[in-house]
Each structure stands twice: as structure tokens, then as C-alpha cells.
Amino acid sequence: MNVGQHLKIINAEEIEFFYSENKGTYAATSDGRNYLLDTTLDNLNDELESQKFFRVSRKFYININHIKDIISYTNSRLQIKLYRFSEQEIIVSRERVKDFKYWLE
């Protein structure tokens, strides 16, 4: 994947999630590093393996192998807890909850 001006190989297993922030798209890895990507979350949809990655909201794509816990949240939404990341809440949007539960199966 393109990471800024560099081409870097990152194994999908190492990516905890992708996120969008301040008009940038980042890959967050299990070793705690964040890589700025030369793409958007919308474009990642065609590139990611759908069995491993799910877009839970406009801001986050998560890796199923890094989910630690799933908690019921307000307004029929779900909160995702990952193994490493805890700086922000990751919420499955109401529109995506049904598809997310189906994806987990």
C-alpha cells in the first residue's frame, strides 16, 4: 500500500483498523503505529477482504481478528472494543448493525 511517499508492505493480520481523520486515511497496526495512506475509506472497500474487514461507520473499518468485545450501545448501536486501541469509541452505526451481526457469523 502507498504510505505517504513510500510503498510499504503490511500484512492484513497486523492491521487492527483503518480510520479517517482530518481528511486523511490511516492504517493502525497492532504494534501501535499509524500509517497515512494514499487512498480513502471508500476506495478501501474494493481492496479489502470482506471476511476480515468491515466498515462499521463513516470513520472506521475494523479487522475481525482484533475485536476484543462488543457491547450494546444507545439507539440500537454497538460499541466495539479492540485489543490495543482505546483512544476513541468505535461505534457501529445504526444502519450497519444488522449487516455487522451477519458479517460476524
Reported as a single tens digit per residue, the pLDDT across 17-40 is 999 999 999 999 998 899 888 889
Q: In the predicted model, what is the mean pLDDT of the chain?
A: 90
Q: What's the chain's length in residues?
A: 105
Q: What are the residues whose beta carbons fall under 8 Å from the beta carbon of 69, sequence distance 6 or more?
A: 80, 81
| Secondary structure element (H or E) that encloses residue 43, with its range | helix 41-47
Taking residue 90's Cβ as centre, other Cβ atoms within 10 Å add up to 20
Predicted confidence band at 11 (pLDDT cuts at 50, 70, 90)?
confident
Cell numbers linked to 10: 503490511
* Per-residue pLDDT, 1: 58
Taking residue 75's Cβ as centre, other Cβ atoms within 10 Å add up to 8
* Per-residue pLDDT, 45: 86
**pLDDT over threshold 70, residue 56:** yes
Q: What are phi and psi of 37, to 5 degrees?
A: -105, 155
**pLDDT over threshold 80, residue 8:** no
**pLDDT over threshold 90, residue 105:** no
